[in-house]
Amino acid sequence: MSSLLKSLRKLYSRTSSPNRTVPEKAPTGSEKLRLTSSQCDVLIIGAGPSGLMLALWLARMGVSARIVDKRTDKIYSGQADGFHARTLEILDSFGVGERVWKEGYRIQEFCFWNPDANGTLQRVQRGPDLIQGISRFSESILHQGRLEMFLTDAIAISAQTPSEAIAVEHCVVPTQLTIDESAVSDPAAYPSGMLKDLGRKKVQALGEDIMVGPREEVVRAKYVVGCDGAHSWTRKTLGDDYKMVGESTDHIWGVIDIVPITDFPDIRNRCVIYSKSDGNMMVIPRENRLVRLYIQLNKVSTCTNDNGRLDRSGISPKDIISAAKKIMAPYKLEYHYYDWWAAYQIGQRVGNHFSKLDRVFLAGDAVHTHSPKAGQGMNVSMQDTYNLGWKLGLVCRNLAPRSILSTYDAERRANAQSLIDFDQKFSKLFTEKPPVDAAGEIGVSLAELERMFKEGYMFTSGIGIKYAPSTITQAAPKGIATKCIPGSRIPSVTIHNQWDARPWDLHHRMPSDGRFRIFVFSGCITSSDSAALERTNALGGFIQDTLQAKYGRLTLSAAPDVHTNGGRFAGDTAQVSVLDVILVHSGDRAVLQPLQDVHEVYRPFDEKLGWDYEHVFVDDVNILNGVHSRAYENLGIGESGAVVVVRPDGYIGLVTDLEERSYVTLEGYFDRILIH
Amino acid sequence: MSSLLKSLRKLYSRTSSPNRTVPEKAPTGSEKLRLTSSQCDVLIIGAGPSGLMLALWLARMGVSARIVDKRTDKIYSGQADGFHARTLEILDSFGVGERVWKEGYRIQEFCFWNPDANGTLQRVQRGPDLIQGISRFSESILHQGRLEMFLTDAIAISAQTPSEAIAVEHCVVPTQLTIDESAVSDPAAYPSGMLKDLGRKKVQALGEDIMVGPREEVVRAKYVVGCDGAHSWTRKTLGDDYKMVGESTDHIWGVIDIVPITDFPDIRNRCVIYSKSDGNMMVIPRENRLVRLYIQLNKVSTCTNDNGRLDRSGISPKDIISAAKKIMAPYKLEYHYYDWWAAYQIGQRVGNHFSKLDRVFLAGDAVHTHSPKAGQGMNVSMQDTYNLGWKLGLVCRNLAPRSILSTYDAERRANAQSLIDFDQKFSKLFTEKPPVDAAGEIGVSLAELERMFKEGYMFTSGIGIKYAPSTITQAAPKGIATKCIPGSRIPSVTIHNQWDARPWDLHHRMPSDGRFRIFVFSGCITSSDSAALERTNALGGFIQDTLQAKYGRLTLSAAPDVHTNGGRFAGDTAQVSVLDVILVHSGDRAVLQPLQDVHEVYRPFDEKLGWDYEHVFVDDVNILNGVHSRAYENLGIGESGAVVVVRPDGYIGLVTDLEERSYVTLEGYFDRILIH
């Protein structure tokens, strides 16, 4: 073999999947470099935000996965840019949120501009771009390419060993997808075979550019997930039964990112500007002095095709800027730098199925498209795979039965439908004529817009998402933990460590690592009446003797030390039980002596590391600033306490009380979800 | 020449200084590889925290510098670990603080344990490890090696081009230091020649290990800074005039980092434990489940030398642990993992000179040594070079006269002396017999210890540092900005951006980039009485027409985008004036129209980037959480306002009012410090 050939082979096997690619048969002749076969648990098609989010989950949970993308570049400019509160919470659970939060532009205000009776533009409303207190995050704007880099970095540090690292394989397109339906129900089977095509590729070898490929590879995967965008090859390949249902639209949007030179006073705030007769515009300030302008072009562009309809291909940045100038007049708008622009036309549609036989799944734009006005696309797409990831992870690790997978379609399709319904109502408000500031009939529509915005925040922020009851989400009895709603994410409250008084965001105590959290809110366990303490310890005994005896030995790798600032020791084996038990009491921290007072399930002991000090917390005053965190109050928990089981994705699976009669409820919940 | 030789030459020129090493003379024979000469503005000897801090300043300010260290390793274990509030603020001004803050263990509480009347250990006091409200940071514990890595990373990203990057040159020892005294006063001269020795070094070339060196190089530097530790070669080389003055001590300290297995309840809090008759111990919890134990070994060790004195070389970790066990009894103490240990003996001494002819400077342990009890060493050492760095930077960039350099000795030597004085009083409290909890004569010493701790926090946190009046620090008239004290760091308050309502920590508006900040606290400029606005704009005119006309064209490179989340555009030329003007008003944000109302000096315009929106702020309510930040109140500024000039290191240089009579004060201040 020539050394050139050797180099190429070496280069090539690295380009595809390290350690997993094996020759299908003994190589013969020139064919030998071309046909290989491999297997992995999960094959992800598409490396945008939803594909990368899934890869990150699987990397954290130690599942073998591959992620392929037809694009040549890792990072591309423009496109999605809005990060809502829940998305930031989710990213934060992987240690990625803080990078977006630091670099992103944090929007504070939303303004409406409207022509007055004389047609002169004026600010008619200015208010907060959030509902106070719903999250520790608020809307933040950052270029999608940065996010993709952060996710890629996080995937890389998640690998336990370099050979396990999941890296995006670029310039790879899927060509065939088959499901062996006879093997679908066997958790150990790899029924989802497919072929992929490496495409023609320029390779540098020994100083020369050489064109290589195409080459094909048979990948046998347990699961395939199509995160391949609005024109999803995966969805189309699943056949005619897989449809996008909803309305198409003739609205064309122009969008451009510029560093504006303008005397418009609210250029650094999120704005909607209604002009008298030149259309409407949204202003979204972002990082690096940039501002994104969204303009609906229908009424302002002269680019029409032979049928008199607007022709998207004829639109240029000049058209967009020219429309923007008219809308913003009499304020001036110029620019020297621009970053990116586009013109697009998007229907409001949802896929009728989000999975096939719970072996092939669809996520993100592949199953929902809608307008960009509420900045939902990237957020909802990542939340799809955030919902799917831990389920696939537990099933592939043989910790949970395949039956939990059907909750993906149920939970996320319902959510996508809500999004479309919201978007339809919301969009209309922007395409209407300008509301008028003065009192009177047209003024109502401004009030309506404001109302929609405020109502919409719970939805658009992602905080309002509530999944319906299912195997993994059990409806709660009334009156226990009234602000912990099964199917919703557990609110973000502050708790204090019993041992060292450090304040913790509750969310930081539950990084995304595939574990269920059993939060025992015990009430006051330091009063002279010892009933609460006895109840707490009896429950501790049940958790240890029954739940942990059955399920406690199911282990996962601990997440990288994302937020615990001190919890992990380098010598730690870093294998953790799938059940994580946390006691949060409301008694007197100075009085409680955990080693004497509470059941050992709340203070795990390791013979090399000693006691684990991160399982007992208290609802208390912050010792350094004197402010009480009021965690019980913010969770709606009274003196009798509550048990709150949180799913690995932070959504509440079960709420019950600490009484003995509830043990069967707890046991039943885990019996359905985990493999004994 | 053999290819081996070629490889070595290549490797070698990389190991020393890229782009700066030139042959001294035409190479002849085997000598040609050995003797080179180069020049740089600043040569730093020693790459511990103080040396790296200086390198970071110089990198940010675009000054050519080299930093050499005799050690082979970048990162070493153990040693200093305590980060105090002011140190974290300083690190944060370079974008490094958040990494320490995230990984470090944030101590909340300080506890005292004491034998009771029966000799049984009991907790007698538990309180916050801080004075509330003095800083946004509190004490944080992290291994010095992590800090060194963070500083090294920050230095690397500060380079404008790769060739400018400052990288630590390891295995390099200085051998000779000369000063050409005739050239000392010429700012452009390089009077500080020296020789250095690359030492013997193992190099991998073509697969073989080869020993290379020693090799010598003549480095001609404008300035040399010795950050080379307690046994400073630089200090010794300066001659007998350079002495360490103070007391030596026979106190020997043992220190060990372990993952403890113990039932002692406060193992995750900072503690002082007095035993009845087995000595005293400090407990410092840290990251990665580690705990540091400090024990004074005099009374407990049996290792004495022939003279009956304690022999440090005979101490082993077993001695330290054995002493710790006795002190902690009846609580148990075991461990499986340990990270590092040491035994040392430190005097309390200060150098009598911190510089020679303002050409050679000494910093850190090279000019002050003291006990580790207050965790000051690394903090004070970094603050030395934080004080020196911007001064050297401005002088090397020819923006300031050499006369400002003498303030280094004045400011830091006084500070070191205060530290030693404090340490002497503080240390005694630990070497005394145990205080007794019960009321009575011995109980007083516990009260005394508590008082010392509380008083000491202003000092140990670094927040209380106040430099004396000098060229760069002008005593203030009374009654203006009562909490902005010249010579102290400007307090950390929150201000809100006028344009977009984003909350900013005032400190984030002044990253360490070598610039002076002129904060104009204008008072209310939106009332019907326009006097305040007129005064503000008249001052704006003076700043523009006089100060900026004289000094505004002195430029520096803008700091990397540490905190501005959005202020910088990639296309920006990133050259900024040495004078940064910031208006903070206390009027009605909704009423002010900056483009119409305020002088253009407060809203700089760039023809490619438009207006700069980061110069007008307001003391206002946070729009997302409803809390007023009370910046004026926290700075002690009343309705008549104040002008506060902040030095590049965050310390206040000048406080005055907005009246016309103060213009001469402002002009005089900059006339002394900047080069016209």
Whether A293 is in a domain gets the answer no
Which comes out higher in pLDDT, residue B376 or B223? Answer: B223
Cβ-based contacts of B334 with chain A (< 8 Å): 610
Which comes out higher in pLDDT, residue A363 or B280? Answer: A363
CB pairs A-B closer than 8 Å: 156
What is the structure's pLDDT at A425? Answer: 78
The reply to whether A563 and A666 lie within a common domain is yes
C-alpha B526: how far from chain center: 40
Domain, as residue range, for A579: 488-672
- Answer whether residue B306 shows pLDDT above 80: no
Phi, psi of A31 (to 5 degrees): -65, -25
What is the structure's pLDDT at A74? Answer: 56
Range of lowest pLDDT (A173-177, B298-302, B644-648): B298-302
Report the alpha-carbon distance of residue A418 to residue B177 in Å, rounded.
75
Whether A296 is in a domain gets the answer no
- Answer whether residue B26 shows pLDDT above 70: no
Q: What is the mean pLDDT of residues A609-614?
A: 92
- Answer whether residue A23 shows pLDDT above 50: no
Q: What is the mean pLDDT of residues B467-496?
A: 94
C-alpha A499: how far from chain center: 33
What is the structure's pLDDT at A11? Answer: 38
pLDDT above 70 coverage of chain B, percent: 82
What is the structure's pLDDT at B262? Answer: 97
Report the alpha-carbon distance of residue A458 to residue A86 in Å, rounded.
10
Which comes out higher in pLDDT, residue B597 or A112? Answer: B597
- Answer whether residue B332 shows pLDDT above 70: yes
The reply to whether A494 and A636 lie within a common domain is yes
Q: Does A330 touch chain B (CB under 8 A)?
A: no
Cβ-based contacts of A499 with chain B (< 8 Å): 265, 267-269
CB B51 within 8 A of CB B44: yes
Name the residue among A138, A287, A572 with its Cβ closest to that of B624: A138
Whether B250 is in a domain gets the answer no
Choosing from A286, A509, A515, A603, the catalytic residue is A286
Report the alpha-carbon distance of residue B471 to residue B647 in Å, rounded.
12
- Answer whether residue B190 shows pLDDT above 80: no
Range of lowest pLDDT (A360-369, A487-496, A546-555, B439-448): B439-448
Q: Which of B405, B427, B442 is the last residue of a domain?
A: B405
Q: Find the CATH number of the domain harbouring A61.
A: 3.50.50.60
Are A132 and B625 a contacting pair at CB < 8 A?
Answer: yes
Q: Which sign does the torsion angle of CA A43, A46, A52, A57 carry?
A: negative
Q: What is the mean pLDDT of residues B116-142?
A: 88
Question: pLDDT tier at A466 (50, 70, 90 boundaries)?
Answer: very high
Question: What's the number of domains chain B is made of?
Answer: 2
The reply to whether B500 and B630 lie within a common domain is yes
- In terms of Cβ atoms closer than 10 Å to its own Cβ (0-12, 13-18, 19+), residue A202 is exposed
Question: pLDDT tier at B139 (50, 70, 90 boundaries)?
Answer: very high
What is the structure's pLDDT at A663? Answer: 98
Question: pLDDT tier at A30 (50, 70, 90 boundaries)?
Answer: very low
The pLDDT tens digits of the residues spanning B576-590 come to: 899 999 999 999 999
Question: pLDDT tier at B446 (50, 70, 90 boundaries)?
Answer: low
CB B259 within 8 A of CB A610: yes
Report the alpha-carbon distance of residue A223 to residue B288 in Å, rounded.
37
Q: Does A607 touch chain B (CB under 8 A)?
A: yes
C-alpha distances out from residue B618 to A108, B511, B522, B525, B654, Å: 15, 19, 10, 10, 21
A286 is catalytic: yes
The reply to whether B364 and B494 lie within a common domain is no
Whether B57 is in a domain gets the answer yes
Neighbours of B507 (CB within 10 A): 23
What is the structure's pLDDT at B310? Answer: 58
- Answer whether residue A118 shows pLDDT above 90: no
What is the structure's pLDDT at B126? Answer: 87
The reply to whether B234 and B363 lie within a common domain is yes
Whether A544 is in a domain gets the answer yes
- Answer whether residue A440 shows pLDDT above 60: no
Whether A591 is in a domain gets the answer yes
Among all residues of chain B, which has the CA nearest to that of A126? B590
Whether A190 is in a domain gets the answer yes
Q: Find the CATH number of the domain harbouring A497.
A: 3.40.30.20
Kindly give, in sequence order, each residue whose CB lies less than 8 Å from that of residue A337, ignoring residues fewer than 6 positions away. Answer: A258, A259, B569, B571, B608, B609
What is the structure's pLDDT at A302? Answer: 54
The pLDDT tens digits of the residues spanning B447-474 come to: 777 777 777 888 889 999 999 999 999 9
The pLDDT tens digits of the residues spanning A34-89 come to: 457 788 899 999 999 999 999 999 999 999 999 999 887 655 544 778 999 999 99
What is the structure's pLDDT at A199? Answer: 54
The pLDDT tens digits of the residues spanning A633-655 come to: 999 999 999 999 999 999 999 99
Q: What is the DSSP string of B88-109?
A: HHHHHTTT-HHHHHHHSEE--E
pLDDT above 90 coverage of chain B, percent: 57
Report the alpha-carbon distance of residue B30 to residue B665 in Å, rounded.
63
What is the structure's pLDDT at A676? Answer: 83
Q: What is the mean pLDDT of residues A576-591?
A: 95
- Answer whether residue A194 shows pLDDT above 50: yes
DSSP state of A310: B
Q: What is the mean pLDDT of residues B528-549?
A: 97
List alpha helices for B119-237, DSSP H: 144-158, 233-237
Report the alpha-carbon distance of residue A472 to residue A547 in Å, rounded.
16
Q: Which of B405, B424, B445 is the last residue of a domain?
A: B405
CB A657 within 8 A of CB A641: yes
Report the alpha-carbon distance of residue B354 to residue B414 in Å, rounded.
10
What is the structure's pLDDT at B411? Answer: 98
C-alpha B312: how far from chain center: 31
Whether A618 is in a domain gets the answer yes
Cβ-based contacts of B124 with chain A (< 8 Å): none
Which of B141, B564, B565, B598 to mutate to test binding with chain A, by most A CBs within 10 Å of its CB?
B565
When mean pLDDT is compared over B111-115, B220-224, B371-375, B656-660, the highest value belongs to B656-660
DSSP collapsed to 3 states, B557-576: ECCCCCCCCCCCCCCCCCEE
Q: Which of B405, B440, B467 is the last residue of a domain?
A: B405
Report the alpha-carbon distance of residue B383 to residue A63 in Å, rounded.
47
What does the mean pLDDT of chain B come to? 84
Q: Does A624 touch chain B (CB under 8 A)?
A: yes
What is the structure's pLDDT at A562? Answer: 64
DSSP state of B513: S
- In terms of Cβ atoms closer than 10 Å to its own Cβ (0-12, 13-18, 19+), residue B207 is exposed
What is the structure's pLDDT at B307? Answer: 58
Q: Does B609 touch chain A (CB under 8 A)?
A: yes
- Answer whether residue A212 shows pLDDT above 70: no
What is the structure's pLDDT at B118? Answer: 84
Q: Does A590 touch chain B (CB under 8 A)?
A: yes
What does the mean pLDDT of chain A come to? 85
The reply to whether A391 and A492 lie within a common domain is no
Are B259 and A567 a contacting pair at CB < 8 A?
Answer: no
Q: Does B116 touch chain A (CB under 8 A)?
A: no
- In terms of Cβ atoms closer than 10 Å to its own Cβ (0-12, 13-18, 19+), residue A19 is exposed
Q: Does B329 touch chain A (CB under 8 A)?
A: no
Which comes out higher in pLDDT, residue A372 or A598? Answer: A598
Report the alpha-carbon distance of residue A514 to residue A56 in Å, rounded.
12
Q: Does A505 touch chain B (CB under 8 A)?
A: no
List alpha helices for A245-376, DSSP H: 317-328
Phi, psi of A326 (to 5 degrees): -65, -45
Are B259 and A571 a contacting pair at CB < 8 A?
Answer: yes
What is the structure's pLDDT at A350? Answer: 94
Are A108 and B500 a contacting pair at CB < 8 A?
Answer: yes
The pLDDT tens digits of the residues spanning A305-359 come to: 555 555 677 788 999 999 999 999 999 999 999 888 988 877 789 999 999 999 9
The partner residues of B418 in beta bridges, in order of sequence, read: none
What is the structure's pLDDT at B16? Answer: 35
The reply to whether B525 and B621 lie within a common domain is yes
What is the structure's pLDDT at B194? Answer: 61
Range of lowest pLDDT (A168-182, A257-271, B406-420): A168-182
Are B565 and A102 a contacting pair at CB < 8 A?
Answer: yes
The reply to whether B76 and B185 lie within a common domain is yes
State whether residue A402 is helix, strand or coil.
helix
Q: What is the mean pLDDT of residues A242-257?
A: 85
Choosing from B190, B223, B294, B408, the catalytic residue is B294
Are A570 and B288 a contacting pair at CB < 8 A?
Answer: yes
The reply to whether B99 and B204 lie within a common domain is yes
